[in-house]
């Protein structure tokens, strides 16, 4: 019955045919040279110095947090986390014993509310701030970076659902000390499962690489690897299996990298199609509904179109109309994470006016590159008629 899905696979038939052709060459499948090629293409595209490919956006966040902890750069374990984002944006902070402080959502971009953030910075002096770039609408990065400079915090930037969005010509995910990306099905581009961490800091890059693979130094550049071997006086036979950190195995494979390289070849097309659909939704719906308002120098690249109904009752009416017309829908991201059991049972309810409104009145409409403008027109009409 569903005719308009929330997400469609960006790995299309042609990509599958190419994959089959590649598999027939009997290639190496585990992490190898294609992973290095994908990482290199990614960092060039993003404009950052280093990138580490891993097996999901959640793993990318996990790597960012533990890398930060091992880097010795955190002056305390307090971290500001967003109310609107994803559970695995926050989960590593809890898992690694940080003290998370939840921040209200900005009324325009739904990222961190800058006034609330500054009051937390003044009161608690957290070492770290985790920013989610919500749904491909870039946050107010001029103000964010000014706060970073003023208070000296480390910025972790979760751009998992914002690939291809940019602010004043700079791609999101390249503002923070580290940035994370997700290549899960339905995101801007897909490697089936997959994620990336990017940074400009060589030391962080080395720790990321070690943590991704058990804690060994095999993936480091020769000079970094050798300096560890010298420092710990490791003999030749032991060298490949010496563990410098208590690591994970969060590697992706060359099969995923093969798909990622193919996706990057059509990334500009994917981004422009998503933008086009987003802007068309905006034309139809912005007057009647509360939606994210980007800064004027921002380029949006959304994976779904998010909107807020007037109230819970109106959301129910709109959702019913969408379902009746074969249009898939869902809540806005995860709503307010401060209302979820994982948070409430540990820290108590975190209720904020904007985040709560997103929780109770927000919904998603489909956006993907294969959705046509006439589909967007139809879906918008269903929403407007229902309201
Ligand atoms: C903001 C954000 N961070 C992290 C993730 C997790 O990414 P993955 O599904 O690749 O683990 C998601 C997933 O949608 C997300 O929206």
How far the first Cα of the chain sits from its last, in Å, is 23
CA atoms of 37 and 380, how far apart (whole Å):
41
CA atoms of 232 and 217, how far apart (whole Å):
12
**Encoded tokens for 364:** 């998603």
Closest-CA residue to 117 (of 162, 82, 156): 82
164: Cβ–Cβ under 8 A, 6 or more apart, which residues? 136, 171, 188, 267, 270, 271, 274, 299, 301
CA of 372 to the centre of ligand 1 (A): 25
Atom of ligand 1 nearest to the CA of 159: 1
Q: How far is CA 222 from CA 218, 227, 324, in A?
A: 9, 9, 60
Question: Model confidence over 271-329: pLDDT tens digits?
Answer: 999 999 999 999 999 999 999 999 999 999 999 999 999 999 999 999 999 999 999 99
Question: Model confidence over 86-136: pLDDT tens digits?
Answer: 999 999 999 999 999 999 999 999 999 999 999 999 999 999 999 999 999
CATH 3.40.640.10 maps onto the chain at 13-265
Res. 2 pLDDT band, cuts 50 70 90: confident
pLDDT value of residue 175: 98
For ligand 1, atom 7: residue with the closest CA: 57
Angle at 263 between CA 262 and CA 268, to 5 degrees: 120
For ligand 1, atom 14: residue with the closest CA: 161
Pocket test for ligand 1, best of 161, 179, 364 (most atoms within 8 A of CB): 161
Give 246's Cβ-side CA count (13 Å radius): 4
CA of 380 to the centre of ligand 1 (A): 26
Give ligand 1 pocket residues (Cβ under 6 A).
56-58, 61, 85-86, 88-89, 132, 158, 160-161, 182, 184, 195
Mean pLDDT taken over the chain: 97
CA of 58 to the centre of ligand 1 (A): 6
What residues pair up with 99 in beta bridges, in sequence order?
78
CA of 225 to the centre of ligand 1 (A): 32
- Provide mean pLDDT across the span 71-83: 97
pLDDT value of residue 358: 98
CA atoms of 71 and 73, how far apart (whole Å):
5
CA atoms of 74 and 80, how far apart (whole Å):
13
CA of 88 to the centre of ligand 1 (A): 7
CA of 90 to the centre of ligand 1 (A): 11
> Is 90 exceeded by the pLDDT of residue 371?
yes
What residues pair up with 363 in beta bridges, in sequence order?
307
Res. 34 pLDDT band, cuts 50 70 90: very high
CA of 198 to the centre of ligand 1 (A): 15
CA atoms of 254 and 234, how far apart (whole Å):
30
Pocket test for ligand 1, best of 160, 162, 364 (most atoms within 8 A of CB): 160
Closest-CA residue to 365 (of 290, 295, 299, 277): 277
CA atoms of 170 and 162, how far apart (whole Å):
13
Taking only Cα atoms into account, the Rg of the chain, rounded to an integer number of angstroms, comes to 21
- Provide mean pLDDT across the span 71-76: 96
For ligand 1, atom 16: residue with the closest CA: 161
Give 31's Cβ-side CA count (13 Å radius): 16
Closest-CA residue to 337 (of 80, 58, 129, 83): 83
Residues in the chain: 387
CA of 121 to the centre of ligand 1 (A): 26
Atom of ligand 1 nearest to the CA of 134: 1
CA of 87 to the centre of ligand 1 (A): 8
CATH 3.90.1150.10 maps onto the chain at 273-386
pLDDT cut 90: percent of the chain above it: 99
CA of 133 to the centre of ligand 1 (A): 11
**Element (DSSP H or E) covering residue 254:** helix 254-265
Q: Is-contact 195 58, C-beta < 8 A?
A: yes
Question: Model confidence over 164-180: pLDDT tens digits?
Answer: 999 999 999 999 999 99
Pocket test for ligand 1, best of 53, 84, 88 (most atoms within 8 A of CB): 88
For ligand 1, atom 10: residue with the closest CA: 57
Q: How many CB atoms lie within 10 A of CB 179?
A: 29
Q: Is-contact 68 89, C-beta < 8 A?
A: no
Q: What is the largest CA-CA distance in the chain?
A: 73
Order of strands, sheet of 99-103, starting from the edge strand that comes earlier in the sequence: 50-54, 195-199, 178-182, 154-158, 128-132, 78-82, 99-103
Atom of ligand 1 nearest to the CA of 184: 10
**Encoded tokens for 276:** 């086009």
pLDDT value of residue 125: 98
CA of 159 to the centre of ligand 1 (A): 9
Atom of ligand 1 nearest to the CA of 333: 16
CA of 57 to the centre of ligand 1 (A): 5
Atom of ligand 1 nearest to the CA of 194: 10
Pocket test for ligand 1, best of 7, 182, 188 (most atoms within 8 A of CB): 182
CA atoms of 262 and 14, how far apart (whole Å):
10
Q: How many CB atoms lie within 10 A of CB 54?
A: 31
pLDDT value of residue 71: 98
Closest-CA residue to 306 (of 263, 361, 364, 264): 364
CA atoms of 248 and 259, how far apart (whole Å):
24
Dihedral angle of Cα 204, 54, 305, 313, to the nearest 10 degrees: -100
Closest-CA residue to 111 (of 93, 78, 138, 147): 138
Under DSSP, the state recorded for 184 is: -
- Provide mean pLDDT across the span 233-251: 97
| Region 273-386: CATH code | 3.90.1150.10
Q: How many CB atoms lie within 10 A of CB 65?
A: 25
> Is 90 exceeded by the pLDDT of residue 1?
no
CATH of 13-265, one of 3.40.50.2300, 1.10.1200.10, 1.10.3720.10, 3.40.640.10: 3.40.640.10
């Amino acid at each position: 019955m569903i005719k308009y899905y929330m997400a469609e696979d960006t790995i299309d038939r042609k990509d599958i045919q190419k994959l089959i052709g590649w598999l027939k060459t009997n290639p190496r499948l585990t992490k190898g040279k294609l992973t290095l090629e994908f990482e290199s293409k990614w960092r060039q595209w993003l404009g950052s110095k280093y990138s580490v490919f891993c097996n999901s956006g959640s793993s990318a966040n996990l790597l960012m947090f533990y890398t930060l902890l091992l880097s010795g750069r955190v002056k305390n374990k307090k971290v500001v986390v967003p109310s609107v984002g994803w559970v695995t944006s926050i989960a590593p902070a809890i898992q690694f014993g940080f003290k998370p402080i939840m921040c209200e959502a900005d009324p325009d971009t739904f990222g961190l509310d800058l006034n609330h953030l500054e009051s937390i910075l003044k009161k608690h002096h957290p070492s770290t701030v985790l920013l989610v770039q919500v749904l491909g609408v870039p946050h107010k990065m001029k103000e964010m970076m000014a706060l970073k400079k003023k208070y000296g915090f480390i910025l972790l930037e979760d751009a998992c659902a914002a690939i291809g969005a940019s602010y004043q010509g700079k791609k999101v995910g390249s503002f923070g000390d580290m940035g994370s990306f997700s290549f899960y099905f339905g995101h801007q581009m897909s490697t089936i499962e997959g994620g990336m961490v990017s940074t400009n800091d060589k030391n962080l890059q080395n720790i990321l690489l070690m943590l991704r693979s058990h804690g060994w130094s095999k993936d480091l550049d020769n000079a970094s690897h050798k300096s560890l071997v010298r420092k710990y006086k490791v003999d030749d036979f032991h060298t490949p299996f010496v563990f410098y950190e208590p690591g994970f195995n969060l590697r992706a494979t060359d099969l995923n990298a093969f798909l990622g390289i193919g996706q990057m070849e059509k990334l500009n097309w994917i981004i422009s199609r998503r933008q086009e659909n987003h802007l068309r939704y905006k034309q139809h719906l912005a007057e009647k509904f509360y939606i994210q308002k980007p800064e004027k120098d921002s380029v949006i690249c959304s994976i779904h179109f998010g909107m807020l109904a007037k109230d819970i009752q109106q959301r129910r009416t709109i959702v019913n109309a969408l379902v009746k017309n074969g249009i898939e829908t869902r809540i806005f991201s995860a709503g307010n994470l401060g209302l979820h059991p994982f948070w409430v049972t540990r820290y108590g309810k975190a209720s904020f006016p904007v985040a709560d409104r997103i929780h109770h009145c927000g919904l998603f409409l489909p956006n993907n590159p294969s959705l046509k403008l006439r589909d967007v027109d139809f879906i918008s009409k269903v929403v407007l008629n229902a309201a």
